[in-house]
Amino acid sequence: MRFLTRSLVAVFLAAVALGLLAYAGGMVRDTLAERAAQEDRPRVARERVFTARVVAIQPGEVAPVLSAFGEVASRRTLELRAPSTGRIIEIADGFEDGATVTPGQVLIRLDPADALAARDLVHIDIARAESELEDAERALDLSRLDRAEAQAQADLRRRAFERRQSLTERGVATEATVEEAELAYASARAAVIARRQAEAQAEARFAQARTALDRQRISLAEAERRVAETEIAATFGGVLSDTAAVAGGHVTTNQQLARVIDPDALEVAFRLSTAQYLRLLDPQGALISAPVEVALELGGLEITSPGRLTRASPSVGEGQSGRLLYAAITVPRGFRPGDFVIVRTTEPALRDVARVPAAAVEAAGGVLVLADDDRLEAATVEIVRRQGDTVLIRVPADLVGREIVAARNPMLGEGIRVRPQREEAAVVAPADPELVDLDPVRRAELIARIEGNTRMPAEMRTRILAQLSQDRVPARLLERLAQAAARQGG
């Protein structure tokens, strides 16, 4: 019985296997027949459609922006130098790089012993000169009295001589008496001349004594100045830099001891080409006060500050080209002299121009315009200015409002049909850096996040906190902080 059962199962499995083989053979046959039928049919070519991004051309008023690299410098810098040789006896507390000083604060005291001794000697010389002046004045008064007395005697001798002459004419006196009176008169005149010479010498002595006193007074003022210069003070408030003084150290004349930099008076120097410089001149040839944006890149973040063009260098340095311009930084918090920054200068606005992606325009000004049937047409526009990834163009009237391909590639050309992907047309960038008001709660949250970020460099953290503490915060900084937070959260 068992043998019969197994035989029936074997026969059944064999039948199933044969059936499956027959079914597979039929499927292969149908497939081959269908392929043969398709090869016999005539093929129909189908047009290929490409996908392309398009932007609309909307001319308007656009202010081009010139980008250049520059270096931050201080407009007010004070060098503290030793006015004379001496020994440092005292240094102010906190005399170190980065310390804040106030106007008039005494920072260094030199040993005043030599200056005080020189001043005391000048006081003695002044007393001697005053005595000499008084003596010369008394001698001058006496010489004047002596000369007046000699003049009176000469007048008396003259009258006596004239009287003898009168008596001789009347025959009362002799010729001898007349000659005697004449000799006496001549002697009196000689005495007057001698007294006048003595008076002139007394006047010269008095003038010399007065001059000597004036010289001693000048020497006293010089000595007082040298005593005052033993105290080296800051004439304005700022931050110390390059400190090189120690208590007890010996300094030489004109040796630099430190520098005081005003952190609130900063400017940036940057170089433009001559063609770019000409765009910033008014019709009279003077440099316009164009707005600028000073940006400092800090590991993906950016500190910005508005500013204004102030002046241009009067000459071109040897081996240099272009023009060196200077711009005052309006909000210098967070910047330091020596920072390498990006300067974006806003040019005067251009009218009837459109801003489009640079990849949309060929070097010769060719663009691909989207027609009504989504096919591309070739057109030419005038290139006004290239700026990074964008280009400013002036378009003919028939292209105003039409759409062009945003990024050309070798697959696209005139007559090609495309599937357009539309996006907003380029907008005019604001001329001035955008500053926004920040909610106190949001401000506190951002400050706490920056202070708690231990991976951020200390200098970067300080500068970002300085900008967040301002009344108005750059919108770009907030955007970058939001992007950084999103990346961390992802």
Question: pLDDT for 294-315, tens place per residue?
Answer: 998 876 678 888 999 999 988 8
Query: Distance (Å, rounded) from C-alpha 297 to C-alpha 344?
Result: 13
280-291 per-residue burial string, b: 16 or more CB within 10 A, e: under 16: beeeeeebeebb
Query: Distance (Å, rounded) from C-alpha 379 to C-alpha 57?
Result: 13
- Take residue 34 and report the two structure tokens written for it: 């269908």
Query: Distance (Å, rounded) from C-alpha 119 to C-alpha 132?
Result: 20
Q: How many residues are there in the chain?
A: 490
CATH number for domain 77-111+230-248+257-261, candidates 2.40.50.100, 2.40.50.140, 3.40.50.300, 3.10.330.10: 2.40.50.100
Rounded to 10 deg, the angle between the 175-228 and 113-169 helix axes is 170
Closest CA to 402 of 422, 382, 427: 422
CATH topology of domain 266-346: Elongation Factor Tu (Ef-tu); domain 3 (2.40.30)
Under 8 Å CB-to-CB from 406, ≥6 apart: which residues?
52, 53, 54, 55, 356, 357, 359, 360, 423
Q: What is the mean pLDDT of the chain?
A: 83
- Take residue 382 and report the two structure tokens written for it: 């005038």
Q: For 242-289, what is each residue's pLDDT tens digit?
A: 888 888 888 888 888 899 999 888 999 999 999 889 989 988 989 999
Q: Which CATH superfamily is domain 114-228 in?
A: Helix Hairpins (1.10.287.620)
Per-residue pLDDT at 467: 79
For the chain, the structural domain boundaries read: 77-111+230-248+257-261, 114-228, 266-346, 350-422, 435-489
Per-residue pLDDT at 291: 92
Bridge partners of 269, per DSSP, are 71, 326
Model pTM? Answer: 0.60
Fold: same for 77-111+230-248+257-261 and 114-228 = no
Please list the pLDDT of the chain residue by residue as tens digits (490 residues). Answer: 676 777 777 777 777 788 788 888 878 777 777 777 666 555 555 677 888 888 888 888 888 888 899 999 998 898 888 888 888 988 888 888 888 898 988 889 998 888 889 899 999 999 999 999 889 888 888 888 888 888 888 888 788 777 777 777 776 666 777 777 778 788 888 888 888 888 888 888 889 989 989 999 999 999 999 888 888 888 888 889 888 888 888 888 888 889 999 988 899 999 999 988 998 998 898 999 999 999 988 766 788 889 999 999 888 877 788 899 999 998 888 888 889 999 999 888 888 888 888 888 888 888 888 888 888 888 888 888 888 788 899 888 888 888 888 888 888 888 888 888 876 443 333 434 467 777 777 788 888 888 777 777 766 777 787 777 777 777 777 777 777 776 665 4
Q: Does domain 350-422 have CATH number 2.40.420?
A: yes
The one-letter amino acid code at 189 reads R
